[in-house]
Chain A
Amino acid sequence: MNLGWRIWFLIIVLLLSLLAIKPSFQSGVIIKSVEKNSSAFNEGLRTGEIIIEVNGQKIEKKEDYANIVDSFFAEGNETKRLDIKTKKNEYTLFIDKAPKITVDAISSTKIKTGLDLRGGARALVQPDVPINDNQLDDLIQISSNRFNVFGLSDVQIKGVSDLSGNKFMLIEVAGATPSDMQELIAQQGKFEAKIGNISVFEGGKEDIADVCRNDATCAGINSCNPTQDGGYFCDFRFTLYLTEEAAKRHAEITKNVTVDESSRYLSEKLYLYVDDIEVDSLLISVDLKGQVTTQISIQGSGSGKDQEEALREAKESMKKLQTVLITGSLPYKLNIVKLDTISPNLGERFSYLLLLAGVSALLAVSLIIFIRYRKIKASLALLFTSFSELIIILGVASFINWNLDLPSIAGILATIGTGVDSQIVILDEARRSASISIKEKIKRALFIIFASYATVVAALLPLYWAGAGLFKGFAVTTIIGVTAGVFIARPAFAEMIKKIEGQ
């Protein structure tokens, strides 16, 4: 059948969009994160792998995984063998507790939903002094390091600026929100080590040559012990390498400090401050007195109600200390000017309601169109075109990895609405009983549509920059939608109508 190139063009773009959305129907669960240095991590399990079987039982959904693993470790504390089969590989773990990984359902499409729908946290951070682009890049680098060190996956950090030229750092964490998010972001991370009131060294490249991390020979948890009140505490220790200059300063200061009565340590301690708050104090052993030593052992501890919690606390404090030592402090304070934490539980309901609204609206509109024109073919063509537009918007959004947040959804709704409007213009222009040819009528319809298109795009452009880009989604989806509508869907619809009316 001769469909004409415009309709073919629509069909091809439609197929490409479907390819970009790529609906998948595979079963299993995807690994969202693996705790560093856990047995699962050491066996080689990594983020992104898809678990299909646990202990020979098939995993279809997220619930399957939770049920099998929970019941398997529910009784007894002995070490058990856990077989995990992923699409790529098979792993055998010998553990006494559920593996330290988080899993999630495999998303059935490549459509990315934003925080409003999926849940998570979003923070907009502004330094208390104006900064330039380079400084903003540095800030983002340092912050990314911090989040990495903290083992948070699925964090996006980027710089944004608004219409007045203010610069912000936008941090988005998907899924569950860490409770200490606020602390993590806003801390200036100023590290200082003092003896008495004299500063010995600070965090950052000037004083710190290197910090031992992720190397069991020079960094790790020393021991965990019960406390008197029934809790636990764990000690950590890691090696810090000072620069020559800082080491000399250290020697200069310790030279004048007296030895305490045990004659094993100096009478003054080395106090560690993060953001001017004392986090720990270390005894200085007597053989360091007056010595130019570049290698210092830093110790600290974490406590908790049980061993696991104490261990976690200790590891976290160690990471925190290591990070501020390496990255050094920011030369300004950070203010959290916006912080949204959206519950993941909201998302499912929201998506359902949006789908319900979309389907009901489209059905109601088709009904009106059918009542108005009493032509089943033309009405179906209109429905098909509007639906194609929706698919194309979602396809392009998936292709450019755009996260569909609330403003984006509003934009899609607006676009489909104006799309239907344009289709109606074409239908009516074609049906008018004027003496001109159908070709001429369509040409006129397209003029009206292009004119409307130009005004919509013009009206939306400022939104791209206003409000630190938080409303960008509205502009992005609308512009994708109306552009696809005007250049692809509408010409194709006009062709369809020409064919239908021409019969």
Chain B
Amino acid sequence: MEQTQNHQHTKNWYDKIYKWIIIIPIVLIIFSVIYLVNFNVKNGDLIYKDVSLTGGTTVTVFDSEVNIESAKLSLKEEFPDLIIREMSDIRTGKQHGFFVETTADSDSIKTALEKYLGYKLTSENSSIEFSGSSLSTGFYQQLKIAILIAFLLMAITVFFIFRTVVPSGAVILSAFADIIMTLVVVDILGIRLSTGGIVAFLMLIGYSVDTDILLTTRLIKNKDGTINQRILGAFKTGMTMTLTSITAIGISFIIIYSFSDTLRQIFGIVLIGLGFDIFNTWITNTSVLKWYMEAKQT
């Protein structure tokens, strides 16, 4: 008895505002698009890229002694674009080594590092990753195409599953909003994307449609209960799904944080994306879908 009343209550306030709520995602999507267009004009691209996408060298040196600040000062003279970062142990926080990133080729940075450190860099004490610039640019182009094709294939699949324009459109809009909003946050945070980061956006496409498909199926395929009851049921399931994903990826993110740049970026981007997915599934997608259902009923 109590539960029914509760539902009744939910229904009342939600029914009043759901059409108005849709303004928030619309504003955010418009803002994101404007921001990205503007960013593109200023920086010549939608993202900041790291050396795996522009070409250059990443060196990881296992040295717990060297002072990273002074190494930075010294190396910056010869390599102005150089970025140096500490790598530390997750439990003790003690320095474990450091990463160096530069657009220079591997031989010149290796020589400079050896000179500064006073010992030879071997496969025992370091890892070196070099990508030529034309290759990296090529990779970037292809990954962009991969994302575009992936998104299109996803959209076609969604249309094929639901075979109705508005619900399918809402799922696709929600996935699109997830991606561009995540992209905006990544740009605002100044994260320089690597190939791994781009792959993370692909993962995001998969993750974000999950809850949208659940919601749409429960709403348009099932007939039991009122629309609001179905939304609430889907919301409980969907939130459990997203929260377990966020927990699992959040924990992995913390553990891997100072160890692997690639995985840190992948997990970080998926985390941001999952956060937006909560918003876009339960505000953007739900509002559109509810509107559509209510309109169809009357």
Contact = CB atoms under 8 A, between A and B. Distances in A.
B180 interface: no
Nearest to A454: B157
Interface string B225-268: 10000000100110011011101110110011001101100100
B5 to A, nearest CB: 17
Contacts of B22: none
Contacts of B263: 406, 409-410
Nearest to A432: B233
Given A163-B142, A444-B221, A448-B213, A460 B130 contact: no
Contacts of B130: 338-340
B126 to A, nearest CB: 6
Contacts of A176: 123
Contact of B214 (A335, A356, A425): A425
B217 A337 contact: no
Interface in B104-136: 106, 122-132, 134-135
Interface string B202-213: 110111011101
Contact of A459 (B62, B124, B205, B251): B205
Nearest to B215: A448
A453 B233 CA distance: 22
A335 B132 contact: yes
A418 B236 CA distance: 17
B151 interface: yes
Contacts of B149: 461-462
A413 interface: yes
A162 B240 CA distance: 39
Contacts of B127: 340-343, 346
B196 A365 contact: no
Given A407-B199, A418-B210, A164 B142 contact: yes
B158 interface: yes
B222 A444 contact: yes
A435 B224 contact: yes
A116 to B, nearest CB: 8
A407 B241 CA distance: 23
Which one of A162, A360, A361 has the greatest number of beta carbons of chain B within 10 Å?
A361
Contacts of A277: none
A434 B224 contact: yes
A361 B145 contact: no
Given A444-B217, A447-B221, A424 B60 contact: no
Nearest to A367: B247
B41 to A, nearest CB: 27
Given A340-B128, A341-B123, A413 B252 contact: yes
B90 interface: yes
Contacts of A162: 138-139, 142
Contact of A353 (B153, B217, B256): B256
B138 A364 contact: no
B156 interface: yes
A372 interface: yes
5 contacts: A410-B266, A414-B206, A420-B248, A455-B154, A470-B195
- State the 3 A-B residue pairs at the shortest beta-carbon distance, nearest first: A458-B153, A462-B146, A361-B248
